[in-house]
Amino acid sequence: MSNDYNTIKIAFFADVVGKPGRFALRDFLTKNSSQYDLVIANIENASHGFGLTEKNYNDFIEYGVDAMTCGNHIWDKKDIHEYIEKADRLIRPINYPYGTPGVGSRIIETKDGVKIGIINALGQVFMSIIDSPWKIIENEIKNIKQITPIVILDFHAEATAEKVCLGRYCSELGLSAFFGTHTHIQTADESIINGMGYITDAGFCGAGDGVIGMDYHTSLSRFLSALPQKYEIAQGNTVIVNGVVVEIDKNSGQTVNIKRIYETMNKVEETTK
Ligand SMILES: [Fe+2]
Ligand SMILES: [Fe+2]
């Protein structure tokens, strides 16, 4: 929780990868969640690296995650199509074609009743075909700002320049905070642009010894052989938790402080849930 009555603290955790990522986030939140007014996590890789099962969706709520964003991998587990319409904490990218199940933005309230608008969107550069996010995001920021001054965007994209340029554009539209995701590698450029908290990529939560959360040997074999091979989740003794905490003025919706989270921890026991 923020010590300042006029501000709130929002924690955002980048792509959670598999069981090592889920358990790392769970244990991090057990220690730290009392510091935050709202917790958001990108969960597109949470269920064995690809997508999100309904069970894991419910696990995250139990861990203290208030809202979940995602990305290109959100459709990888089949049961998402059955539960997404009732998953009222989940936000899928807003720039899927009209008629796609789920929603691309939500207003989530903190325990104290502060309304936070959250948007998720996909980039276009070096990504699969998707509708242009630019005007969709602009319209959605305007819509949400009729309800609350606090608006967050998780922009899930590969290309750094696309993220930087869209970030600057959003800062002119009154966005409160812009969190880049998808590369799984945290950038060190957290900053405040025109009152908007910004980071190009918040990183990932998962095994520290692999290749962006996946097993090194299977990744290596894919590169050396150029043959398709099933990815496996990395194991190993360490896990990392990557994210960002922003402190936002409740009245103006502007970020007054931004801090990266990069914590390395010992791997948790497999016997716990
Ligand atoms: Fe990811
Ligand atoms: Fe992704």
The verdict on residue 52 lying in a domain is yes
Q: Where are the beta strands (DSSP E) in the chain?
A: 7-13, 38-42, 67-69, 105-109, 115-122, 151-156, 177-181, 191-193, 196-199, 206-207, 238-249, 255-266
Mean pLDDT, residues 88-109 taken together: 98
The verdict on residue 2 lying in a domain is no
Mean pLDDT, residues 149-160 taken together: 98
CATH code (residue 116): 3.60.21.10
Q: What is the largest CA-CA distance in the chain?
A: 57
**Token pair for 33:** 């969640």
Residue range 175-191, pLDDT digits in tens: 999 999 999 999 999 99
Q: Which of 48, 73, 81, 156 is catalytic?
A: 73
The verdict on residue 27 lying in a domain is yes
- pTM, whole model, 2 decimals? 0.96
Percent of the chain with pLDDT over 70: 97
The verdict on residue 173 lying in a domain is yes
Give pLDDT, residue 270: 58
Q: Is 156 a catalytic residue?
A: no
Q: From CA 236, how far away is CA 8, in angstroms rounded?
A: 36
- Interior angle at CA 239, CA 234 and CA 244, nearest 5: 120
Residues of the domain holding 11? 7-266
Give SS3 for 82: helix
The verdict on residue 271 lying in a domain is no
Contacts of 75 (CB under 8 A, 6+ apart): 51, 81
Residue 81 φ/ψ, nearest 5 degrees: -65, -25
Residue range 71-97, pLDDT digits in tens: 999 999 999 999 999 999 999 999 999
Contacts of 211 (CB under 8 A, 6+ apart): 219, 220, 234
Ligand nearest to the CA of 52: 1
Cβ of 122: how many Cβ atoms within 10 Å?
25
Ligand nearest to the CA of 156: 2
What is the total count of domains within the chain? 1
Cα 69 to middle of ligand 2, angstroms: 11
Q: How far is CA 184 from the centre of its chain?
A: 10
- Interior angle at CA 179, CA 237 and CA 232, nearest 5: 35
Cα 157 to middle of ligand 2, angstroms: 7
Cβ of 179: how many Cβ atoms within 10 Å?
30
The verdict on residue 242 lying in a domain is yes
The verdict on residue 1 lying in a domain is no
- Interior angle at CA 182, CA 104 and CA 116, nearest 5: 40
Residue range 122-139, pLDDT digits in tens: 999 999 999 999 999 999
**Token pair for 202:** 């918040």
The verdict on residue 272 lying in a domain is no
Cα 43 to middle of ligand 1, angstroms: 8
